[in-house]
Structure 1
Amino acid sequence: MRISQLDGKGVALWGWGREGRAAYRAIRSRLPELPLTVFCNPEEASEAASLGDTHLVTDTDATAERLGAFDVVVKSPGISPYRPEAIAAAERGTRFIGGTALWFGEHVGADGVVARTVCVTGTKGKSTTTALLAHLLRAGGHVTGLAGNIGLPLLEVLDPEQSPEFWAVELSSYQTGDVALSGAHPHIAVALNVFPEHLDWHGSEARYVEDKLRLLTEAAPKIAVVNASDPRLAALPLPGSVVLRFGDDSGWHLREDDLYRGGHFVMDTRALPLPGRHNRGNLCAVLTAIEALGLDAAALAPHAASFRPLPHRLQSLGTCDGITYVNDSISTTPHASLAALDCFSQRRVAILVGGHDRGLPWEDFAEAMREHAPLAVITMGQNGPRIHALLAPVAAQGGFALNEASDLADAMAQAKALLGDDGVVLLSPGAPSFGMYRDYVARGRHFAELAGFDPDTINTIPGLGIA
């Protein structure tokens, strides 16, 4: 859907966060006099009213009846279309889309493809993968846009002063369906992995998987790059796309720590600033996508050595009194916490887990602790007691220390006491921050502050925008 197609329709915005404000500005850039209603909280309503837009009305009560009065509702990604009021409004004929759908609609070519756009999704690793893709393309001299779920809404770069040669776009499971709704096909879609996540938004694991994979199954990219080692992705039928696989012997893959293209050795990855073998494995996804763009991926691969890791993603803050502090606040699934532990398997580690309870299962994590436990696991947050109860029988066998904490400060104090003057305090919660913090960024900043580091120096995502 193009923004011009909203003309003459009843249109509302649902959400006035960064995505909502970006949608407002994008619509106004094309349709300055289109009547708009924004559904938001009272504080946001005051901010919206202060704009002085006589064609903008605010409403703080997004009921099914009120939403159902509009032809189109442009909702922010964090608002689930499976909420009862959204379902009821949709049954009345209201169409719900996101800013991602509008951006793709504005960029679609005559052939239905958004040319030279690489979309990246996956339960974990998608931000680092997308940023690494942009980094390597720029290292090759190509002007590249880096945007999406990584921290810059696509609609904020709707009309850039300089049109990039390539787009590197991160998409969450909240946004993948929007690409399908736009009617456009990505040039390349990359799928890294699929684990249960965001069950509160999607309603079930099955729906999460279905929504996540809509980027491949419904948006029908021209080229699909999928992880051969993920059984769900490897077996996915994609008749409308050329399918390229990474992680198997015929393409880009790792052999231990060595990077190979088919049977040809390319480089040793151990010194790369990509924490965790899973991130170095995602380098294979990046190189597969670059190759699909018609570029020499092998020539660009060494530039991964100059990549700057992203904040809050296995981010080493530094060492104080013998203890290294690692900020993995972005970790919102137990699988991510296990991957983080694997990065420090040779160190004495106290891992801090727990947060908002979305109902994700922790049984696999508990089972892994039988053979791959750190020195200590400290639980906290809403789901902390549930995690602690699962781990207690395993810890009782003498494999690791298991403590409970009232909050992050308490968890860190206990971790330092257990480690003494040597080890790693690893914040990898495996759960969202809601209820205790605004988001994972605020949680990571507080972790840095409690550890004695300046939170402002660890918070910038490098390379956002067009460069």
Structure 2
Amino acid sequence: MTGARERLEALTSWHHDWSGLRVAVLGLGVTGFSAADTLAELGAEVLVVASRADAERAMLLEVIGAELLEESDLSAPPARLVEFDPELVVVSPGFHWDHPLLLWAEQGDIPVWGDIELAWRLRDKVGDPADWICVTGTNGKTTTVQLTATMLLAGGSRVAPCGNIGVPVLDAIRDPQGFDVLVVELSSYQLHWVNRNRGGELSPYSAACLNIADDHLDWHGSLEAYIAAKAKVYDNTQVACVYNRADGNTLRMVEEAEVIEGARAIGFGLDVPGPSDFGIVDGILCDRAFLEDRRNSAIELTTLDELAEAGLAAPHVVANILAASALARSYGVEPQVIRDVLTAFRLDAHRIELVRVEAGVSWVDDSKATNPHAADASLRAYPSVVWVVGGLLKGVDVEQLVAAHAGRLRGAVVIGVDRAPLLAAFERHAPGLPVLEVVADETEGVMPTAVRLAGGLAREGDTVLLAPAAASMDQFTDYAERGRLFQAAVNEFFGGGADDDEPASRPPGA
């Protein structure tokens, strides 16, 4: 295996010789297929191993010349995988780090790469390699990536948002038009596998970790392991390490990171910025990092009033805007360009999305709040809330979240399979609060019941807020389906049409 390792260490370009390399790709989701497609294009021998395979992707594997091994039981290496004798394993993000196939690879001294390492090595397919701006964090990644990419595009760069946002990085680096910069959303799963092998060390142009909170602890095993994975985003950063001044974990990550000499630490926060920071002074969002006299002056980017007009004034959204602005400014985007982008930018669906207003009650879909940290940020945006909460908790503790917001709650409607911890937390921290439980098992019945119960609790001036603090896969396909069904149930509850006085599409803060 020593010779195989030496060959792999030397494979750091699309234009190197990958032909005949035996690669096992674990998983046939979006990421797994992109890896198999890329390797097949390079001439490698590819065996895709999956417990279940989408029929269309399985058919396409045959077209591109890759082999599919579909096995429902992957508790031990299948005979065909052992016979294939891979020289490399490329793992999809969903595979747990201690999956039996990965332990088998480790015991056999077979190198394991994630899709990010593979893409980094192959980034020179189309002309000069694009710079990478990398974004991670427990919450706000997708919004920050979209904002950053939009700012860069408006500033004149050829840019692609990619990674965990939905477009695999391997697809972006193979796009024939080529890009100046990729804005890459990285999950903790993906970061777990980076910078483990010689020759494939990621080196972002700039990088940001937005925040850290308990999440995916069932995958990583501990908060410390989760933080260690997230911290890798700063390794080898070339220009700017953007961190959250309100989150000590992100500061420590930057302080401990091995970066390229000359890389700067750039803080962001909702308070007054110091030199080399982004922040807020008297309602004005300011850059005190990318100007010559940063000790005595600042550059205005926009105002909180302007953000409110665009529906972007929720505190956690403002924090994302500051982080994105820091990343864009590190790449040379002018302040006026950032201001113009923020005037037109709108959040994605199911992110603090106002569904409608009826009888003075706002109904808000924040189905994207899939963990307690995101739900905390969402709850803080509203003074009086009927909270629709619950789902698949993924091993996280909801005690502090319930305790922190008991005082702003009119009532709560609990959904999902992991209701017991939430019900117990409400009993301990809000014993007098009306808490109603949805016991419907069928997906179609959950949201109509939840909306009916919430409507009975809400009073004029309240916000009925879907901020589940939990994953959706217990009862829904994903957070988007959960949000769509919530919106449909709200509209059905009120007879289908929006209030004539309040347009259903009005953004929060407008």
Same topology, TM > 0.5: yes
Aligned with residue 146 of structure 1, among 152, 161, 166: 161
Q: Equivalences for 1:338-417 in 2 at 5 Å?
A: 338-345=376-383, 348-371=384-407, 373-396=408-431, 398=432, 400-407=433-440, 408-409=446-447, 410-417=449-456
Q: Take 1:200 and 1:59, find their aligned partners in 2: how far apart are those partners?
A: 26
Identity among equivalent pairs (%): 27
Q: Take 1:87 and 1:305, find their aligned partners in 2: how far apart are those partners?
A: 50
The answer for the alignment partner of 1:244 in structure 2 is 266
Residues 352 and 411, structure 1, Cα contact 8 Å, conserved in 2: yes
The answer for the alignment partner of 1:207 in structure 2 is 225
Residues 122 and 191, structure 1, Cα contact 8 Å, conserved in 2: yes
CA 1:128 to 1:324, structure 2 compared with 1: closer, same or farther past 3 Å? same
Q: Take 1:304 and 1:46, find their aligned partners in 2: how far apart are those partners?
A: 39
CA 1:326 to 1:188, structure 2 compared with 1: closer, same or farther past 3 Å? same
The answer for the alignment partner of 1:7 in structure 2 is 19
The answer for the alignment partner of 1:329 in structure 2 is 367
Are residues 1:418 and 2:457 paired? yes
Cα shift at 1:38:
1.4
Q: Take 1:47 and 1:164, find their aligned partners in 2: how far apart are those partners?
A: 27
The answer for the alignment partner of 1:432 in structure 2 is 471
The answer for the alignment partner of 2:241 in structure 1 is 224
CA 1:42 to 1:367, structure 2 compared with 1: closer, same or farther past 3 Å? closer
| Larger Rg, first or second structure (1 or 2) | 2
Q: Equivalences for 1:23-172 in 2 at 5 Å?
A: 23-31=35-43, 34-44=44-54, 47-49=57-59, 51-53=61-63, 55-60=66-71, 61-66=73-78, 69-107=85-123, 115-172=130-187
CA 1:106 to 1:222, structure 2 compared with 1: closer, same or farther past 3 Å? farther
CA 1:192 to 1:384, structure 2 compared with 1: closer, same or farther past 3 Å? same
Cα shift at 1:274:
2.1
Q: The residue matched to 1:107 in structure 2 has which SS?
A: coil
Q: Take 2:68 and 2:249, find their aligned partners in 1: how far apart are those partners?
A: 45
CA 1:343 to 1:234, structure 2 compared with 1: closer, same or farther past 3 Å? same
Q: The residue matched to 1:70 in structure 2 has which SS?
A: coil
Give the TM-score, by structure 1 length: 0.87
Cα shift at 1:324:
3.0
CA 1:50 to 1:108, structure 2 compared with 1: closer, same or farther past 3 Å? closer
Are residues 1:193 and 2:211 paired? yes
Residues 77 and 100, structure 2, Cα contact 8 Å, conserved in 1: no
Give the TM-score, by structure 2 length: 0.80
Q: Deviation per CA, 1:156-184, whole angstroms, max 9, x where unpaired?
A: 22322322222211111111234424323
Residues 353 and 377, structure 1, Cα contact 8 Å, conserved in 2: yes
Residues 325 and 426, structure 1, Cα contact 8 Å, conserved in 2: yes
Residues 389 and 415, structure 2, Cα contact 8 Å, conserved in 1: yes
Residues 285 and 303, structure 2, Cα contact 8 Å, conserved in 1: yes
Are residues 1:442 and 2:481 paired? yes
Q: Take 2:230 and 2:428, find their aligned partners in 1: how far apart are those partners?
A: 35
Cα shift at 1:288:
1.5
CA 1:438 to 1:223, structure 2 compared with 1: closer, same or farther past 3 Å? same
Unaligned runs of 5+ in 2: 1-11, 289-296, 441-445, 497-503, 505-510
Amino acid at match of 1:445: R
Q: Equivalences for 1:444-459 in 2 at 5 Å?
A: 444-452=483-491
Q: Take 2:27 and 2:242, find their aligned partners in 1: how far apart are those partners?
A: 33
Residues 108 and 184, structure 1, Cα contact 8 Å, conserved in 2: no
CA 1:184 to 1:366, structure 2 compared with 1: closer, same or farther past 3 Å? closer
User: Between Structure 1 and Structure 2, how many residues are aligned?
Assistant: 444
After superposing the two structures, state which structure 1 stretch, 432-441 or 404-413, moved more: 404-413
The answer for the alignment partner of 1:465 in structure 2 is none
The answer for the alignment partner of 1:462 in structure 2 is none
Q: Take 1:52 and 1:370, find their aligned partners in 2: how far apart are those partners?
A: 55
After superposing the two structures, state which structure 1 stretch, 138-147 or 239-248, moved more: 239-248
Residues 115 and 186, structure 1, Cα contact 8 Å, conserved in 2: no
Unaligned runs of 5+ in 1: 459-467
Amino acid at match of 1:387: L
CA 1:422 to 1:366, structure 2 compared with 1: closer, same or farther past 3 Å? closer
Q: Deviation per CA, 1:297-337, whole angstroms, max 9, x where unpaired?
A: 35523421110211222122333565433221121211211
Query: Does 1 or 2 have the higher relative contact order (CA < 8 Å, sep 6+)?
Result: 1
